[in-house]
Structure 1
Amino acid sequence: MLSTESAADGVTPGPAPGGAFHRFMDDAARSGTLVVQPRMGFADPDRMRAGLIATRGAAATTVGTLTLDSFTRVGDYAAAARAAEQGHPLNGYPLVSMPVATTTGMLDGVRGEAFPVQVRHGSAQPGRIVEALIGAGLDATEGGPVSYCLPYGRTPLATSVKAWREACRTLAGLRATGVEPHLESFGGCMLGQLCPPSLLIALSVLEGMFFRQCGLRSISLSYAQQTSAEQDEEAVHALRALAADHLPDTSWHVVVYAYMGVYPETRHGAAALVADAARLAVRTGASRLIVKTAAEAARIPSIAENVTALETAAAVARTAHRTAPPPSTGIEAEARALVEAVLGLHDDLGQALIRAFARGYLDVPFCPHPDNAGRTRSVVSERGRLEWSRTGSLPLGPAAVVHHSRRLTSSELMHALHHVKTRYDTPAVPLPQAS
C-alpha cells in the first residue's frame, strides 16, 4: 500500500506543471547538458516512488521513468490487476490497472518542472495506456507503430498503425489545454542488435514524421548503441541531419540507448559499455541517454544499481566533448534512400509504412513478424561494423552489400549476437569514476 506520508522524501506535494518533459528537455538541449534516464519500473507504488526519488537525487541531470509491466504491454489489464492485488511479482508498474489516486499519490511531490517523468511500455495498441498516463497528469511516453509492433508479437502492422494514430491524436489533444506532450520514437532500437544503422535511422525519422502528422510537435528520435563506436557516431550525426530536413517545424532531440543486445556479465564490462554510450551521446550532440546497469545480464536491476549507472554515465559525460562527424561511409545516403522511398508510397505516413513493409522497402533483419518480409540479413564485419549481407527489396542498390552474401550459419549468428558482450567482458577495462 502506498504511504500517504511524503515529508520524509524532502519534497512539497503539489501538482506537476503541464508539458514538464518538453520544457525540461528543451532547456537541456539548449544548454548542452546530457540528460540520463533509467529504464526503471516496479509494481509496488512505494518502491516505484522510492526509485523515482533516488533517480532525482542522483549526481546527474535526470528524468524519471515509469516502465510498465508486460501484462499491460499486451493489453491483459485484468491479469496485471490480479497480480498487483495478490502481491505477485510484475516486471513493471501496472499503470492501467492501478487506481488513478494511487498513481497520482505515488507521483505527488516527486515529479515536476525539475524532474519530469516519462512512461515506457512496449505496446502495439497503446490507447488505454495513453489515457491512463494523461489521467495521472503525465505528458510524455515513447514507442511507435512499427517499433512497438514488429519486435514484440504478432499484432498486424495495420492494426498497430491505426491504434498508434488514435493514441497520438489523444496525446496531441493535450495541446488544447496548454500542455505540450512529448513522444519518443523507439525506431532506433529495433530488436536491440544486428540491425544496420541506416535502417534504424530511417525508422526513427519515419515514426517521428508519423507523430508529426498526427499533431505532435515535441518529439525525440532514438538510436541504440551498436557494435562500432565510429559507425555509431556517423549514424547519430546522420540521424540529426535527416531530422533537421524532415522535421523542420518540430521541437526534437536525439536520445541514445546503451546497447540493447546481449549485455556484458562482468561489472567492468557493463560499466565500460555504458561509459562508451555516454561518450557517444556527448560526441554526437544527443540530448538524452538511456542507461543500462551491471545487473542487466542476470535480472531486473535494483534502485541502487540504476543510480550507479546514471552517475557513471554522467561522470563520463562531463569529461567528453562534442566532435565533428567521422568520414562518411554512406550511412546517411542509405537512410535518405529508405526514407524517400517510403515517402513516395503514400501521403499518409501510416499507409506508407504499411506499404513499405509489404513491398520489402523496409525489412528488419532476423525479425519473425508476419508483416516483415524477412529477406534482409546483416553481419558483424571483421572491423566490428554492422553491415548488410542481404538487402532483399530495400531500395539501396547492390553497393550496399559490402560483406559476404552467403547464408549465415547458426554459430556465426550466435557469435554476432555475443560480439559486444565478449569484447567488453574479456579485457579488464578500468572503470570510469562517478563523482
Structure 2
Amino acid sequence: MQVKNKKIDKELFLKERQEVLKSWSTGKEVDINEAVEFHKNMPENKIMVNKLIDAKNNNKTLIQPRAGVALVEAHIDLLKFLLEKGEADLLPTTIDSYTRQNQYQEAEQGIKESYETRRSMLNGFPAVNYGVKECRKIIEAIDAPVEVRHGTPDARLLAEITLAGGFTDFEGGAISYNIPYAKKVSLEDTIQYWQYVDRLVGYYYEHGIKINREPFGPLTGTLVPPAISHSVAILEALLAVKQGVKYVSLGYGQNGNLIQDIAAIQSLKELAEKYICDEGYDDIEITTVFHQWMGGFPQDEAKAFAVISWGATASALSKATKVIVKSPHEALGIPTKEANASGLKTTRQIINMLRDQSIEQTKNMDIEREIIIEETIAILSKVKELGDGDWAVGIVRAFEAGVLDIPFAPSQYNSGKILPARDNKGAVRFLNTGNLPFDNKIKDFHADKLKERGFYEERDVSFQMVVDDIYAISKGMLVGRPK
C-alpha cells in the first residue's frame, strides 16, 4: 500500500504541481507567488476564515446558499442577488458535473451552448475551463467570502485554479467526495489527490494566506447516523492538518430530530478538538457547518418552507458556525435565484429570532451526545488500529473491513451493509450495524429504540421502515409511519 499519512515533501509537491497544471490549458495561468500577493491584497471581509472565526467568537450562525451557473457574468449576478436580496453572509461557487469528473472538454461544450442559448446549460460553474483571470472577476465583484463547492474525487487542478483565483474556502475530502459520489475510484487514489489539495492549502498558509477547508458533512445526505459522518469528518480533518491546513469547518447533515441534531453538532466539535489535539496540534481553528435537510423535499412550496425553517431552527439552537441553506424548489430541480433568496431570508429570520435563545441541556440530549461520542470513538479507534497508527492506511483497511461504511453510497469500495432507520421519535438509529466495531451495549441500544417504534406502529422492525423513512419528509412527515 503506497498511501501514508505523511506530509508531502516540498520538492515532490512542487514537481507534482507541474504535472497537474499541464492537465488542462488554463493551468498555465497559475503562478503561485503572484497568487499569494493577490490574496495578501484582498480585503479582510472577503476572507472566509475571518468571517467564520468572528461568528464562532460572537455566537453567531452565518447563512450560505448553494449556487452556480455556466456563464461568468450570470454567475456574478446570481451571487450579488443572493448577497443583497437573500441577505447571505457567505457565498458559494458550485462547480458543474463535468468538471467534477475532470471532463473539461465536455464542460467547454457546455459553456459554448450556454453562450448560444444565453442560459446555463451546465449545473454549475466550470472554473477550470475559465481559468484564474475569470475566477478573479467573481472574487473582485463580490463583497463577501466565496467558497468552492463541488463533488470532485480528483480536485487538484480545480484547487490550483480557484485558490489562485482568490477563493478562500475549498470543500471536500478523500472520503466525502469519493464514496458518496463515485463508483470505481479507489481510496488510495483519492487520499493522495486530497493530500495534494491540503498540501497546497498548507503551502499558501506557509506564505501567510488563510484558506479554510471543509470536508463534506452530509455524505449521501439521507439518514446518515451522526457517528458515521463524524468519523469521516474527523478523519478528513486529521489528513488535512497533517499537510499543513490550519482552518477546518466540519459538517453535519440534518436528520430531523432536534435533540439528536443539537447533540450531533455539540459532539462533533468536542470530538474533533480531542482527536486533533491528541495528534499534537494545538493551533487548529475548528468551526462547524449544519446542512439543512439533504433528502427529498415536499413539492408544495409552503411545506418546503417548513422543512427549511426546521433546519434553520436546529442550526441556530445547536450554535453551528454556519448553515447551508436549501430552497423551496428543492423537489422541482435547480432553484431560481428568487427561490434561493427566499430560503435564505426564511433562515435569516429564524436565526435572528433564536440567536439569544438556547435549549436546555436535558437528560435525553446528554444520552444522544454520549452515544454519538461512544460510537465515533469505537469507529476511530478501530481505524487507527487497522492502520497501525497511520490514519490514511487505516481508512483504506477500514473500508475494506466494513469498519467504515456509508449508507446508500455507490462506491464499490463501500460495504453498504449498514442500514439506518428512525426510532419512534424520529432520531436516526442503526437497523443493521454491518461490520461496525460496536459492542453489544451499543447494538442493544439501537435495537431497543427500533422495537419501541415497531410496538407503537404494530409492525415488525424491518427494511420497510428504511424505505418509509426515506420518503417521509417529502410526504409531510418525519417518521415513515404506515398508512
The residue number in structure 2 matching 1:30 is: 57
Amino acid at match of 1:92: G
Aligned runs of 1:354-369 on 2, under 5 Å?
Answer: 354-369=396-411
Residues 272 and 424 in structure 1, CA contact (< 8 A), matched pair in contact too: no
Residues 34 and 314 in structure 1, CA contact (< 8 A), matched pair in contact too: no
- The secondary structure found in structure 2 opposite 1:189 is coil
Question: Larger C-alpha radius of gyration, 1 or 2?
Answer: 2
The residue number in structure 2 matching 1:417 is: 470
Distance 1:400 1:422, change over 3 A: farther
Matched, 1:308 2:335: no
- Normalised to the residue count of structure 1, the TM-score between the two structures is 0.88
- The secondary structure found in structure 2 opposite 1:353 is helix
The residue number in structure 1 matching 2:132 is: 100
Residues 266 and 425 in structure 1, CA contact (< 8 A), matched pair in contact too: no
Equivalents in 1 of 2:163, 2:86: separation in Å? 29
Amino acid at match of 1:27: D
Equivalents in 1 of 2:337, 2:413: separation in Å? 38
- The secondary structure found in structure 2 opposite 1:96 is helix
* Structure 1 vs Structure 2 CA RMSD: 2.2
Equivalents in 1 of 2:164, 2:89: separation in Å? 23
Residues 269 and 425 in structure 1, CA contact (< 8 A), matched pair in contact too: no
The residue number in structure 1 matching 2:206 is: 176
The residue number in structure 2 matching 1:343 is: 384
Matched, 1:202 2:231: yes
Distance 1:53 1:15, change over 3 A: farther
Amino acid at match of 1:76: Q
Deviation at 1:142, TM superposition (A): 0.6
Q: Which has the higher helix share?
A: 2
Deviation at 1:324, TM superposition (A): 4.5
Equivalents in 2 of 1:252, 1:26: separation in Å? 9
Residues 294-331 of structure 1: CA distance to partner in whole angstroms, max 9, x if unpaired?
00111101111111111110110111123344231312
Q: Which 10-residue stretch deviates more, 346-355 or 205-214?
A: 346-355
Amino acid at match of 1:227: G
Residues 366-391 of structure 1: CA distance to partner in whole angstroms, max 9, x if unpaired?
32311111221121223222111111
Equivalents in 2 of 1:283, 1:206: separation in Å? 26
Deviation at 1:273, TM superposition (A): 1.5
Q: Which 10-residue stretch deviates more, 415-424 or 129-138?
A: 415-424
Matched, 1:216 2:245: yes
Matched, 1:229 2:255: no
The residue number in structure 2 matching 1:323 is: 359
The residue number in structure 1 matching 2:431 is: 389
Matched, 1:151 2:162: no
- The secondary structure found in structure 1 opposite 2:330 is coil
- The secondary structure found in structure 1 opposite 2:331 is coil
The residue number in structure 2 matching 1:290 is: 324
Aligned runs of 1:371-382 on 2, under 5 Å?
Answer: 371-382=413-424
Equivalents in 1 of 2:379, 2:43: separation in Å? 39
Deviation at 1:425, TM superposition (A): 9.8
Equivalents in 2 of 1:131, 1:421: separation in Å? 39
The residue number in structure 2 matching 1:7 is: none
- Normalised to the residue count of structure 2, the TM-score between the two structures is 0.80
Deviation at 1:61, TM superposition (A): 5.3
- The secondary structure found in structure 2 opposite 1:145 is coil
Amino acid at match of 1:172: G
Q: 1:43 is matched with which residue: 53, 59, 70?
A: 70
Residues 86 and 340 in structure 2, CA contact (< 8 A), matched pair in contact too: no
Residues 58 and 310 in structure 1, CA contact (< 8 A), matched pair in contact too: no
Equivalents in 1 of 2:98, 2:436: separation in Å? 35
Structure 2 runs not aligned, ≥5 long: 1-39, 115-119, 452-459
